[in-house]
Amino acid sequence: MRTLSPIPSSPSSTGRTAGSGGTGRWARTGSRAVPAAIGTAVAAIAAADLINPQYSPVTEVISRYVNGTAGWLVTTALFLVAGASGLLLALLRRAGAPRVGRWAVGVWAAGIAVAGVFPADPPGRWGRPSTSDIVHGMAATPAFLALPVAALVLHGWLTRRWTRGAGALRAVLGTSLVSTAVLLVCLVDVMDGPSLGTDAVPTLVGLVERIAFGAGLAWVALAAVAASRPAVRA
């Protein structure tokens, strides 16, 4: 009696679907590399804050610290964020994420990279920026605006892939939207001299920027994990 040999299963029968993006080794590696790069960038910024007590993280934005002790830490952090965001963009494209969201992530990544190349001016020069500072600001502003757009546009797509992370993604999205709006108000205020603060604390632009930037970095890390997950079948 002849024994029938099992028929090899086709790729479609293994549960993989086109655009799943999360089943390969490359996607798993990316989902670990992005949070690692983000964590290293956060550590570098925190170190820059600690070794530059002459600046206040409440009143001075992160990029100003490039002019202080070990300013290379800020530059390194920006390049790490840009690289991690570029890797996230590749994960999103591989997984078939909505195009508008991918474009927004691309604007964010490119803006952060350019901001790293062109350093900001030292503290106290808001009204008379150098050419480098102007380019830095022109790159950073659309980057900060694009990140909340990406988080909003991709929110549903990401949470469908990673339901357990939906709460964290929702919290980061809300924080990003609110803090970015407040940051814009603070930036406009300091351009002609801060008027919204007090004599002791003339502006909160540094603190608000750190909240907005931190929310953005958290979203990049969470989005990378979500994008690496297999697509959920309809």
Structure tokens at 230: 């297999």
> For 113-153, how does the pLDDT look when each residue is reduced to its tens digit (9 = 90+)?
999 999 999 987 777 889 999 999 999 999 999 999 999 99
Alpha carbon distance 93, 27 (integer Å): 11
- pLDDT interval class at 11 (50, 70, 90): very low
What is the structure's pLDDT at 190?
80
Backbone phi, psi, residue 98, to 5°: -55, 140
Indicate if the pLDDT at residue 7 is higher than 50: no
Indicate if the pLDDT at residue 208 is higher than 70: yes
Query: For the purposes of burial, counting CB atoms within 10 Å of the CB of 99, is it exposed (0-12), middle (13-18) or buried (19 or more)?
Result: exposed
Which is nearest to 58 in space by CA: 202, 232, 229, 163? 202
Q: How far is CA 145 from the centre of its chain?
A: 11
Amino acid at 52: N
Amino acid at 49: D
What is the structure's pLDDT at 24?
74
What is the structure's pLDDT at 128?
82
CA atoms within 13 A on the CB side of 159: 14
> What is the pTM (predicted TM-score) of this model?
0.86
Which is nearest to 114 in space by CA: 78, 139, 86? 139
What is the structure's pLDDT at 30?
80
> For 61-110, how does the pLDDT look when each residue is reduced to its tens digit (9 = 90+)?
999 999 999 999 999 999 999 999 999 999 999 999 999 999 999 999 99
What is the structure's pLDDT at 28?
81
Alpha carbon distance 214, 202 (integer Å): 22
Amino acid at 20: S
Alpha carbon distance 170, 177 (integer Å): 11
